[in-house]
Structure 1
Amino acid sequence: MGINIDVWRARIGCFTQPKGTKRELIHGIKLCGGLLSRQLHILLIAALLLLLSGNVERNPGPRTTRQSQLAVSASGVRHTGVQGNSDHGDILRGIEEQLKSLNTRFTNFETSLQTIRDEQSDMWREMDKLTDANAAQSQKVEQLESQSRRENLLFFGIPDDGGKENSNDSEEKVRDFLKTKLEVESSRADCIPIERAHRLPTKRHPRPIIVKFSAFKDREYVSKIAKEKLSGNREVRVSPDFTQAVRNTRRQLGKLLQTYREKGEDCYISYDKLVVNNTVYTYDWDKDSLREVGRRRIPPASRASPTPSRARDRSGTRRESPGQYSRRRDSLDNSQHS
Structure 2
Amino acid sequence: EAATTTAWLTCPALAFRRFVNAFHSTLKKNDNRFLFLRPCPRVMCETLGECYSMMLLLLCSGDVEMNPGPVTRSEVLLELDSLPDEPSEQMAVLFHLLKDLQARSVQSARSQAELVADLKSIKAGQKNIETKIGCIQKRLDAVEEKTNALDDFGQNMSSFQSSVETMTTQQNLLQSRLDELEDQSRRDNLLFWGIPDSRESWEQSEAKIKSVLTGLFDVLPDNVIERAHRLGTHSPSKCRPIIVKFSSFKIKENVLSARTKLKATDVTVSEDFSPATRHARKKLIAFAKNQPGAPTFQLRYN
The offset of 1:100, in angstroms, is: 3.6
Q: Which has the larger radius of gyration?
A: 2
Aligned to 2:256: 223
8 Å CA contact 1:230, 1:237 repeated in 2: yes
Aligned to 1:297: none
Q: 1:12-64: CA deviations, max 9, x gaps?
A: xxxxxxxxxxxxxxxxxxxxxxxxxxxxxxx989845999xxxxxx9864249
8 Å CA contact 2:195, 2:266 repeated in 1: no
8 Å CA contact 1:246, 1:271 repeated in 2: no
Instruction: Give distance in 2, aligned partners of 1:78 and 1:250.
Output: 94
Q: 1:165-210: CA deviations, max 9, x gaps?
A: 3333323322221232x3x21x2x2456221112222546443221
1:270 correspondence with 2:299: yes
The residue type equivalent to 1:135 in the other structure is: N
The offset of 1:239, in angstroms, is: 0.7
More helix by share: 2
Instruction: Give distance in 2, aligned partners of 1:72 and 1:100.
Output: 41
Q: Which stretch has the larger CA shift, 103-112 or 216-225? A: 103-112
Aligned length: 215
Aligned to 2:45: none
1:85 correspondence with 2:119: no
The offset of 1:255, in angstroms, is: 3.2
Matches within 5 A, 1:90-239: 90-160=127-197, 162-163=198-199, 165-180=200-215, 182=216, 184-185=217-218, 187=219, 189-191=220-222, 193-202=224-233, 203=235, 205-226=238-259, 228-230=260-262, 235-239=266-270
The offset of 1:69, in angstroms, is: 6.5
1:251 correspondence with 2:282: yes
Instruction: Give distance in 2, aligned partners of 1:234 and 1:257.
Output: 26
Instruction: Give distance in 2, aligned partners of 1:95 and 1:50.
Output: 58
8 Å CA contact 2:188, 2:246 repeated in 1: yes
Instruction: Give distance in 1, aligned partners of 2:294 and 2:154.
Output: 54
Q: Against the structure 1 CA distance between its residues 85 and 45, is the aligned structure 2 distance closer, same or farther, given a 3 Å change threshold?
A: closer
Instruction: Give distance in 2, aligned partners of 1:111 and 1:243.
Output: 49
The offset of 1:271, in angstroms, is: 5.4
Structure 1 residue ranges without an equivalent (≥5): 1-42, 52-57, 274-338
Please state whether the residue corresponding to 2:270 is helix, strand or coil.
strand
RMSD (Å), alpha carbons: 3.5
Aligned to 1:28: none
1:242 correspondence with 2:273: yes
Structure 2 residue ranges without an equivalent (≥5): 1-72, 82-92
State the percentage of identical aligned residues: 27
The residue type equivalent to 2:177 in the other structure is: K
Q: 1:97-117: CA deviations, max 9, x gaps?
A: 334433333332222221222
Please state whether the residue corresponding to 1:270 is helix, strand or coil.
coil
Q: Against the structure 1 CA distance between its residues 113 and 64, is the aligned structure 2 distance closer, same or farther, given a 3 Å change threshold?
A: same
